[in-house]
Structure 1
Amino acid sequence: MSADPFFADSGLRRGRLGTAHLVFFTVAASAPLTVLGGGVTTTYAVTGNVGTAVSFVLLAAVLAVFAVGYAAMSRYVANAGAFYAYIANGLGRAGGVAGSAVALAAYNAIQIGLYGLLGYILKDFMASKFDIDLAWWVWALLAWVIVGLLGVLRIDLNATVLAVLLGLECVVVLIFDVISFGHPAGGTVSFDGIMPGNLFTAGFGAVFALGIAAFTGFESGAIYSEEVKDPRRTVARATYIAVAFTGLFYAFSAWSLSVLTGPENVAKASAEAGPGVIFGALAQYAGSAVADIANVLFVTSVLAALLSFHNGVARYLFALGRENVLPRFLGATSNRSGAPVAGSIVQSVLAVVVFMAFAVAGRDPLLDLFTWLSGSAAVGVVLLMTLTSAAVVGFFRGRSGPESLWQRLIAPVLGTLLLGTVLVVMLVNFDALLAPDTAAYLKWLLPVIPVAAAVIGLVWGFALKSIRPEAYARIGRVAEEGLHEPGLHPAPPEPERPHWTPAGHR
């Protein structure tokens, strides 16, 4: 494969990404304008919970606790498989393969589901503004081509595209926030939206179940750890910035919406207008031109999230192919751009097959494709983070280093318990993520998908131990020793060993 002028198997390009690049990728995956226009309005409409804004602060705090151990371990483990490598090094190699299966199921689900959302909003926008009425899947195909092309280009070019889109959509959200506080319902700014007591009422479980989906993607910094300039610090720094920014930004914007409509009317306004409550306010107080720009940026916000998740999936496939957990061709990178081109192409093919299957079946792109897959993905990501937090404890057990007791034990244990609690709340309240008329069997089948992926991955991991021991021995390896501080990086732990090894090797 390396003889091909386009493909290489030498690995990802080093040193192309800094802290700012990783922040763009992680925050873009969360898509601030999409969270406000879609996630926040949906939460108010479904739950009627006035204290929704507070949930973002609490969830950010839970994720910040998780990030303590995650950031400490990032100094030692640089692998494009991210959580796959973390779990393999902390809970055993077979566990790492299980984690990789959960990651692939979750990130593919949310990425493919976003094509439904993008197709839906583009169809509506183009029909109303330009009288171009095409099927949603036509617009989804157009986005698929753009994402596929960007996915095989230089990663720093991808980051530049995301930076521009992210900056513009954040400006739009800030304009909305300023409008809200400048035109509060009843002429007075209400603080009911940020009173903790208003959160812990009926429906608070559903608020958390919906709210955690807004943070999906914040943990993706480790995926790019092989391509950053300073892996010892960059991943940790970017993760803390991303979780702090998104938590506070979403909380403030959710509060702004309740201020604009009045806390007593926010659920009704969100249920009746959905994202229109945001764009209607922009049109009324900032002009139709600003509202139109905001609509365009709503589209690019989803496009940015599509690109970010596409890049993440491609790098997971690259890591698994390189280590022969999956077919070796997935470990190919482009000679020109250094991008994991094989993984990128596979993800693109899978995406178009799934969303076109929904189109052929006549399923709704928003209520079915987007809602079903994003709900399943949210469960998978929280499960993955719970396993990763537990893996931090296993990784640092008996390992010397400069990390404090808080970093190596207390915070990871606390993070595991908190994330486990969030996971249970999500499962119990999974109905809140789906339309009321959704088939009953889907209400248990969709959250089971990432769990089933974990079981399949675990079985395959143990199978590799017997049928491909040399591949099993490389699972979760650190990509390059030189990326880490001398004296701080012992050899990757080997909690499990193959039954036999090739002659002459131990």
Structure 2
Amino acid sequence: MSTASEAAAGAEVASSGANTVGLHGNMGVLELIFTVVAFNGPVVVFLGFIPVAVLLGNGVGTPVVFLACGVIVTMLAVGLVTMSARLKKPGGFYALITAGLGRGVGLSSGFTALTCYFVALLSAYALGGIALNTAIVEVFHGPQAPWWVWACLMLIVTSVLGHFNISFSSRVLTLFLACELLLMVAYDISVLAKGGAHGIGFDSFTPNQVFSGSMPIAFLFGMGLFGGFEATVIFRDEVRKPERTIPMATYGVVALLAGLYALTAWCFINSYGAAAVMDVVDKNMVTASTDSIKQYTGQFAYDAATIMLFTSSFALALAAHNISARYVFNLAADGILPRRFGRAHERHVSPHRSSLALSVTALLVLAVFAIMNASEDELYARLAGLYSYVFVIMLLLVTLAIGVFLLRDRVHGKAVGAAAASLIVFAVLCVTLVLATQHFDLLTGATGTLKNVLIIFIWGVTLAGGGLALYLKRNRSDVYHSIGRQ
């Protein structure tokens, strides 16, 4: 539970003169870990991400890249946890970047973060619509319907859950995630117990395999695995004992994701054999994971995986909705967005108005996609790639902010080690962003004019935040000084 001082820091005065109600909750370490990992969609990663990373990245050496990216993210997490403990403000990256780099960059980051998670939400609806349609037709032999019908059904359920306290959503996410983890652990054990295709090999850990293929692309995919880990800080006011819960949950999320995905990727490679896996993913990238599940864990697990692709997508959508709603809430509490969206529900203590506004906006966007008759597979791929690109921009800003803040912190003393780790990660992410821009077509599937439009849109949103901050500084100093939950 947040302290009284933290709750007061999160409260703002609305234009009507009424005080806003701050968010609070009682999530523990495991609930927070499960809420954040659900955003990552483990089964989505296994079924749709790992085969692509093997094919386009460094092939058999993929598990080592996943572990290396886990180390890099852990270095970032050290600075994140240190700064969050010293700042003790709600607002997530929006507040941290403002404290480190100033209000102009801070507001830019708020817009970037909101864009990032909103795009992730849309991609989850697209994938969930596809997955639910597949499960209904193939597993339950039911009627087929357009993907957007099922996506809208997901949106309705997500909106209802988002209206209530985060503790309610965390229970739903915990249930779904437990099933996903059970499936993946059962698969890994089955592959190891049966000895894979030709005995369990360790080719993935040899230098020749680690540095094979395209290391830059492998690194891009590896960093994308950890999307959402930073969300632990956005729920600061909704966990009990945040000084203890947030560090444990942050490190727990990174360790779980790195270990689980590296192990599963290694087992997937062994399920076909190091010599054959590249040919398999080249010919059957879409079904390579599900075929392997059927072979090693049986028809029931195959059917369960088909169903869990939907439940994983739904959990991802619910987590993305909750995170996005809190960014809307914090921007509204500061007066950047209409203050009515910065008031929590008096009974459920949830950002109910922000949640509703987010759902309405998402529904309008889905309606546009439906009218355009957008291809669901292409739509999901482009939205997921777009999210990955914006995610790198967001991480770049926060690593620099953490390093700068910790080096100049005079109240608590300079944390040179954590600052140095963050600045090292910042340098790595600079290279990553350049590579992501060069391979934007590979990330999103967008080429030509569409590619240029998307890049301009992303950076335009980011720059718009800085422009708005400059306007507020000159014309609305009261709002300007509250940027970043200051």
* 1:106 is the counterpart of 2:106: no
* 1:22 is the counterpart of 2:22: no
- CA gap of 1:92–1:404, structure 2 versus 1, over 3 A, is closer
- CA gap of 1:349–1:118, structure 2 versus 1, over 3 A, is same
What does the per-residue CA deviation read over 1:206-262, in whole Å, with 9 as the maximum and x for residues that have no partner? 222223222111111111011121222322221111111101110111111100011
Q: How far apart, in 2, do the equivalents of 1:175 and 1:447 lie?
A: 41
Q: Which amino acid aligns with 1:193?
A: S
- Secondary structure, in 3 states, of the residue corresponding to 2:437? helix
Q: Which amino acid aligns with 1:451?
A: W
Q: Which residue of 1 aligns with 2:321?
A: 310
Per-residue deviation at 1:185? 4.8
Q: Which amino acid aligns with 2:97?
A: I
- Equivalences for residues 356-371 of structure 1 within 5 A: 356-367=367-378, 369-371=379-381
Check conservation: 1:91, 1:394, Cα contact below 8 A: yes
Q: How far apart, in 1, do the equivalents of 2:453 and 2:410 lie?
A: 40
Check conservation: 2:57, 2:216, Cα contact below 8 A: no
Q: Which amino acid aligns with 2:178?
A: G
Q: How far apart, in 2, do the equivalents of 1:98 and 1:474 lie?
A: 14
- CA gap of 1:196–1:165, structure 2 versus 1, over 3 A, is farther
* 1:230 is the counterpart of 2:224: no
* 1:337 is the counterpart of 2:345: no
- Equivalences for residues 13-412 of structure 1 within 5 A: 13=24, 15-47=25-57, 49-129=59-139, 130-367=141-378, 369-396=379-406, 397-401=408-412, 404-407=415-418, 409-412=419-422
Q: Which amino acid aligns with 2:308?
A: L
Q: How far apart, in 1, do the equivalents of 2:252 and 2:424 lie?
A: 21
Aligned sequence identity (%): 29
Check conservation: 2:35, 2:170, Cα contact below 8 A: yes
User: Which ranges of structure 2 fall in alignment gaps of 5 or more residues?
Assistant: 1-11
Q: Which residue of 2 aligns with 1:442?
A: 450
TM-score normalised by the chain length of structure 2: 0.91
- CA gap of 1:94–1:276, structure 2 versus 1, over 3 A, is same
Check conservation: 2:328, 2:354, Cα contact below 8 A: yes
- CA gap of 1:36–1:169, structure 2 versus 1, over 3 A, is same
Check conservation: 1:183, 1:260, Cα contact below 8 A: no
Per-residue deviation at 1:119? 1.1
- CA gap of 1:337–1:196, structure 2 versus 1, over 3 A, is farther
Q: Which amino acid aligns with 1:55?
A: V
Check conservation: 1:111, 1:309, Cα contact below 8 A: yes
Check conservation: 1:74, 1:236, Cα contact below 8 A: no
CA RMSD of aligned residues (A): 2.2
Per-residue deviation at 1:382? 1.5
Q: Which amino acid aligns with 1:23?
A: I
Q: How far apart, in 2, do the equivalents of 1:181 and 1:388 lie?
A: 39
Of 410, 416, 439 in structure 2, the residue corresponding to residue 429 of structure 1 is 439
Q: How far apart, in 2, do the equivalents of 1:432 and 1:205 lie?
A: 12
What does the per-residue CA deviation read over 1:49-71, in whole Å, with 9 as the maximum and x for residues that have no partner? 22111111111111111111111
Of 460, 467, 471 in structure 1, the residue corresponding to residue 468 of structure 2 is 460
TM-score normalised by the chain length of structure 1: 0.88
- Secondary structure, in 3 states, of the residue corresponding to 2:121? helix
Q: Which residue of 2 aligns with 1:494?
A: none
Check conservation: 1:81, 1:223, Cα contact below 8 A: yes
- CA gap of 1:292–1:154, structure 2 versus 1, over 3 A, is same
Q: How far apart, in 2, do the equivalents of 1:30 and 1:17 lie?
A: 19
Check conservation: 1:94, 1:462, Cα contact below 8 A: yes
Q: Which amino acid aligns with 1:464?
A: L
Per-residue deviation at 1:194? 3.0
Of 405, 414, 419 in structure 1, the residue corresponding to residue 424 of structure 2 is 414
Check conservation: 1:53, 1:251, Cα contact below 8 A: yes
Per-residue deviation at 1:161? 0.9
Q: Which residue of 2 aligns with 1:476?
A: 484
What does the per-residue CA deviation read over 1:19-48, in whole Å, with 9 as the maximum and x for residues that have no partner? 222211221111111111111012223447
Q: Which amino acid aligns with 1:100?
A: G
Q: How far apart, in 2, do the equivalents of 1:405 and 1:92 lie?
A: 20
Check conservation: 1:209, 1:429, Cα contact below 8 A: no
Q: Which amino acid aligns with 1:58?
A: A
- Secondary structure, in 3 states, of the residue corresponding to 1:11? coil
- Equivalences for residues 479-494 of structure 1 within 5 A: none
Q: How far apart, in 2, do the equivalents of 1:153 and 1:165 lie?
A: 18
What does the per-residue CA deviation read over 1:96-116, in whole Å, with 9 as the maximum and x for residues that have no partner? 100001101111111111111
Q: How far apart, in 1, do the equivalents of 2:232 and 2:436 lie?
A: 24
Q: How far apart, in 2, do the equivalents of 1:355 and 1:270 lie?
A: 31
**More divergent stretch after superposition (303-312 vs 48-57):** 48-57
Q: How far apart, in 1, do the equivalents of 2:366 and 2:203 lie?
A: 41
Q: Which amino acid aligns with 1:395?
A: F
**More divergent stretch after superposition (246-255 vs 124-133):** 124-133
What does the per-residue CA deviation read over 1:5-24, in whole Å, with 9 as the maximum and x for residues that have no partner? xx9831112x4122222211
Q: How far apart, in 2, do the equivalents of 1:25 and 1:171 lie?
A: 16
- CA gap of 1:142–1:271, structure 2 versus 1, over 3 A, is farther
Per-residue deviation at 1:322? 0.7
Q: How far apart, in 2, do the equivalents of 1:167 and 1:447 lie?
A: 37
Q: Which amino acid aligns with 2:215?
A: F
Per-residue deviation at 1:386? 1.4
Q: Which amino acid aligns with 2:44?
A: T
- CA gap of 1:398–1:119, structure 2 versus 1, over 3 A, is closer
Q: Which amino acid aligns with 2:251?
A: Y
Q: How far apart, in 1, do the equivalents of 2:397 and 2:135 lie?
A: 41
- Secondary structure, in 3 states, of the residue corresponding to 1:9? coil
Check conservation: 1:48, 1:203, Cα contact below 8 A: yes
